[in-house]
Chain A
Amino acid sequence: DVKVTQSSRYLVKRTGEKVFLECVQDMDHENMFWYRQDPGLGLRLIYFSYDVKMKEKGDIPEGYSVSREKKERFSLILESASTNQTSMYLCASSSRVDEQFFGPGTRLTVL
């Protein structure tokens, strides 16, 4: 079974803190994705990566950066967390255009 794991299920941070969200997949997938999910707004793509050290902006990249130093790991970074970044963050991976496999999500609260 494909496994996509995220470093935390719940996270509470303070405004201005630097936040790292980690995602690891174990199926050697080329593609990895970060989404945020908010009530009434569905899933919105933040960043994605087709390969190691490659990254592409999604629909809402402002305030975020990413890092992919190894194929299995894709990190989302909030350089200076703000309250409007309180959300559910979902990581996914896929092989080419096959289905995406999702992690359990990280619910981030920024106070």
Chain B
Amino acid sequence: GDSVTQMEGPVTLSEEAFLTINCTYTATGYPSLFWYVQYPGEGLQLLLKATKADDKGSNKGFEATYRKETTSFHLEKGSVQVSDSAVYFCALSDPGYGQNFVFGPGTRLSVLP
């Protein structure tokens, strides 16, 4: 079945450091890909998405590119801030897999001042 794999962390960085969180997927169909962020005590919020190969999703300085050849959707940010401390989830939605989402396990990011 469909699955999402991401580095579980925790990831600890200093402010202004470069961030990469790796995400790879397996899917039976042609999925849409998402990154969600969860701040402490809150629900998940959509951070960015991409619906087809080579699409780049971006928001709040974060970027991720849909790479079909490597089945990857890695999240990057050039300069992290303390306020980016949260848990990040990679997810896919596959029309060939019903209408469910498949979420990765989440990566906890801590940014130190």
Contact = CB atoms under 8 A, between A and B. Distances in A.
A10 to B, nearest CB: 10
A51 B57 CA distance: 30
Kindly state the interface size class of chain B when it binds its partner. Answer: 20 to 34
Contacts, number: 53
A54 to B, nearest CB: 11
B89 A101 contact: no
A62 interface: no
Interface of A: 4, 31, 33, 41-43, 45, 48, 50, 58, 90, 92, 94, 96-105
A28 B93 CA distance: 19
Nearest to A91: B43
A42 B43 contact: no
Given A42-B103, A42-B104, A45-B100, A97 B43 contact: no
Interface in B63-113: 89, 91, 93-95, 99-101, 103-106
A99 B34 contact: yes
Interface of B: 32, 34, 36, 41-46, 49, 89, 91, 93-95, 99-101, 103-106
Given A42-B106, A97-B32, 4 more contacts: A42-B105, A43-B106, A98-B93, A99-B93
A48 B101 CA distance: 11
A104 B42 contact: yes
Given A97-B93, A99-B34, A90 B104 contact: no
A45 B102 CA distance: 9
B9 to A, nearest CB: 12
